[in-house]
Amino acid sequence: MSLNSIFQFFVPKDKKFFPLFEQASADLIALAETLHEAVNAPKGERESYYRRIEELEANIEEITHKTNLELSRNFITPFDREDIHALITAIDDVANNIHGASSRMRLYQVEKITKSIRKLTEINLEACQHIKNGVDELKDMKNMKNIMDAVKRINKLESKSDSVFDKAVADIFENETDAKNIIKYKEVLSSLETATDKCKVVAKTLEAVAVKHS
């Protein structure tokens, strides 16, 4: 048991870090959900979704900043400091890549949304929902099985994302003749696939915390 863990028995319930984690993971779901809605909306209605995504990504960035400030101010933390930093950083990385996909669709004026793009946004949304489930369990540290279940589901989704991405890229090179479109779609797909990779990093951190406190 770490020194930090021993201190947990003598300090009040954390009221600083867990609310930040919960807000970040809730905003992450909203972010992924908004992009999924955007790719399923008519092209003339997507701009409002893109603006909302920018707002949500900025919110998560601010939460990340606040979390790191709290780390610098507090000696006692609810679990290991490196895991707190890793968790909020990984959540922020997921948000950055979802926002990156949105920005590329907006800037490159991607009008035709492919089935693969829709599928990847769906996978990211589901992965973010499991992140929220895992993060919510950290507060009490009583049901580690729920955290491990979330981790397993995220890992499976990441593997699924890899398969969708590989097939989508192969299809682009086989069927698309316009070099500009090849670049556009590959950039969007790459951002979405990387977002799922970052979800797996969140899962790895959740797993590390669960193992240390089991």
Note whether residue 66 is domain-resident. yes
Give the residue-averaged pLDDT of 178-191: 93
- The CA-atom distances, in angstroms, between 6 and each of 11, 14, 82 are 10, 14, 17
Q: How would residue 183 be classed by pLDDT, with cut points 50, 70 and 90?
A: very high
- Higher-pLDDT residue of 37 and 142 is 37
Mean pLDDT of all residues belonging to the chain: 91
Which domain covers residue 167, as residue numbers? 13-212
Positive or negative, the CA dihedral 49, 50, 51, 55 is: positive
Give the residue-averaged pLDDT of 1-29: 71
Note whether residue 5 is domain-resident. no
Q: Where are the beta strands (DSSP E) in the chain?
A: none
Q: Is the pLDDT of residue 15 over 80?
A: no
Give the residue-averaged pLDDT of 169-186: 90
What is the per-residue burial (b if ≥16 Cβ within 10 Å, else e) of 117-134? bebbbbbbbbbbbbbbbb
CA 129 – CA 126 distance, rounded (Å): 5
In CATH, what number is assigned to the domain containing residue 30? 1.20.58.220
Which two three-digit tokens encode residue 111?
Answer: 């009008």
Note whether residue 3 is domain-resident. no
pTM for the structure as a whole: 0.91
Note whether residue 110 is domain-resident. yes
pLDDT score recorded for residue 176? 82
pLDDT score recorded for residue 6? 45
CA 90 – CA 71 distance, rounded (Å): 16
pLDDT score recorded for residue 78? 85
Helix ranges, 74-114 (H): 81-107
What pLDDT, in 10s, does the model give residues 36-61?
A: 999 999 999 999 999 999 999 999 99
Contact 186, 172 (CB under 8 A): yes
What pLDDT, in 10s, does the model give residues 189-208?
A: 999 999 999 999 999 999 99
Note whether residue 2 is domain-resident. no
Note whether residue 6 is domain-resident. no
The number of folded domains in the chain is: 1
pLDDT score recorded for residue 49? 98
Q: Is the pLDDT of residue 120 over 70?
A: yes
Note whether residue 100 is domain-resident. yes
Report the interhelical angle of 179-212 vs 81-107 (nearest 10°).
Answer: 160
Report the interhelical angle of 115-137 vs 17-39 (nearest 10°).
Answer: 160
What is the per-residue burial (b if ≥16 Cβ within 10 Å, else e) of 54-83? eebbebbeebbebbeebbeeeeebbbbeeb
Note whether residue 207 is domain-resident. yes
The region of weakest confidence among 6-10, 133-137, 207-211 is 6-10
